[in-house]
Amino acid sequence: EAEVAQSPRYKITEKSQAVAFWCDPISGHATLYWYRQILGQGPELLVQFQDESVVDDSQLPKDRFSAERLKGVDSTLKIQPAELGDSAMYLCASSLRRNTEAFFGQGTRLTVV
């Protein structure tokens, strides 16, 4: 069964260090999302791609976060420098088109110490 792949599953990093997460969406899915979920809250959208183009990054803290999807397939989300408040689950999701349900990966649990 096709699924969204994310790595790493867990990451511990010291504050002020750089950290990167990788996502490989379901094959053929043009839309890719990065969400952040803080414990006890619902996921919040960070950035949405349609193919290689950014559709929405209004909630992405651009001073420290960056995301790219160069070939319109897999994607990388980077944080530099990491802060204590960045500790959360980072979820990647993909959908076939912009108006269909999104399927999530298992997420990357980030702990900043």
User: Which x/- pattern, by CB under 8 A, does the window 36-75 give for another protein?
Assistant: ----xxxxxx--x------xx-------------------
For residues 40 and 71, which CB has a smaller minimum distance to another protein in the complex? Answer: 40
Tell me how far, at minimum, the Cβ of 90 lies from another protein, in Å: 10
State how far the Cα of 44 lies from the Cα of 24, in Å rounded to an integer.
19
State how far the Cα of 30 lies from the Cα of 67, in Å rounded to an integer.
16
For residues 81 and 109, which CB has a smaller minimum distance to another protein in the complex? Answer: 109
Residue 66, Ramachandran bin (φ over 0: left; ψ between -120 and 50: alpha; else beta): beta
The residue among 64, 61, 67, 72 whose CA lies nearest residue 94 is 72
- Check binding of 22 to another protein (CB under 8 A): no
For residues 31 and 75, which CB has a smaller minimum distance to another protein in the complex? Answer: 31
